[in-house]
Structure 1
Amino acid sequence: MLFQPPVFETIFRTPVEHRLVIRGSRSRGAPLDGVRWYHDEFDAAGTLVARYETYDETDEAGQERCGWRRFDGAGRLLARHEVAMRWSALVALKQSRRAAEIALQRAGAHAAPAPLPRRAWQPDRVSAA
């Protein structure tokens, strides 16, 4: 079966009047395996309201995970959610892609965590090797 990424608008609960624009994606192979997507969300007036980083990967410690982070236009982390399995395993567990997308939303996920130090927004760096 071909890999089918999630419908990001569903996960992020993007309002219908907003636009979600993909800025790019990065993938890497073994021993670290994964893919990351980068999106910008614009309101109806065209103003940037959020930036997202979504990932499906096996990290340096061999742990599988998928999740997302939401940042404001200044790069401050607003919300995040992660599950301890790859996207394909979440789809299999929930028995549909739609159910997996809803599980990845997390109820109340848009509540802001404790403030982080202020810094310019930068996507995670992924090595080419």
Structure 2
Amino acid sequence: MLFQPPVFETIFLTPVEHRLVIRGSRSRGAPLDGVCWYHDEFDVTGALVARYETYDETDEAGQERCGWRRYDAGGRLVARHEVAMRWSALVALKQSRRGAEIALQRLGAHNTSAPLARRVLPAGTWRPDIVPAA
């Protein structure tokens, strides 16, 4: 079976009137193994609403995980969600890609009132932190 990445709009609960644009992805091999995707979300006026980092990886200790982080337009981490297995294992567990996407949504994550991290960068210099997931 070919690797099928998630439908990111489903995971992020992107409103249909918004546009989600992939900015790039990175993969790496042993001893760490994984892939990371970067997306920008724009509203109907074209204004940046959020940035996302989504990952599917095995870390240095051999622990598997997949998840995402959402940053507001100012670069502050406002939501994140992670599960302790690789994407392919989550798809197998949920018996469908759609079921796995729903498991990664963590409904209500976008309604976070207080930022999880206080990190503001000058406009145009955003890049995601590689931080331990909760």
TM-score, normalised to structure 1, is 0.91
2:86 paired residue number: 86
2:54 paired residue number: 54
Between the aligned partners of 2:56 and 2:127, the Cα distance in structure 1 is 19
Gaps of 5+ in 1: none
AA matched with 1:7: V
Runs of 4+ in 1 over 6 A off after TM superposition: none
Between the aligned partners of 2:3 and 2:32, the Cα distance in structure 1 is 18
Gaps of 5+ in 2: none
1:10–1:81 Cα change, 3 Å: same
The CA RMSD measured in Å over matched residues stands at 1.3
AA matched with 1:59: D
Q: Deviations over 1:59-108 (max 9, x none)?
A: 12211000000001111011000000000000000000001000100122
1:103–1:115 Cα change, 3 Å: closer
Between the aligned partners of 1:90 and 1:106, the Cα distance in structure 2 is 14
- Report the secondary structure of 1:44's partner residue: coil
State whether structure 2 residue 28 is matched by structure 1 residue 33.
no
| Distance apart, 1:115 and its partner CA | 4.0
Q: Which stretch of the first structure deviates more once superposed, 112-121 or 94-103?
A: 112-121
Q: Deviations over 1:29-61 (max 9, x none)?
A: 111000000000000000000000000000122
State whether structure 2 residue 110 is matched by structure 1 residue 105.
no
Maintained 8 Å contact 2:53/2:70: yes
AA matched with 1:123: P
| Distance apart, 1:110 and its partner CA | 1.6
Between the aligned partners of 1:88 and 1:72, the Cα distance in structure 2 is 28
2:127 paired residue number: 122
1:74 paired residue number: 74
Q: Which stretch of the first structure deviates more once superposed, 67-76 or 108-117?
A: 108-117
| Distance apart, 1:114 and its partner CA | 5.0
AA matched with 1:74: G
1:68–1:10 Cα change, 3 Å: same
AA matched with 2:117: L
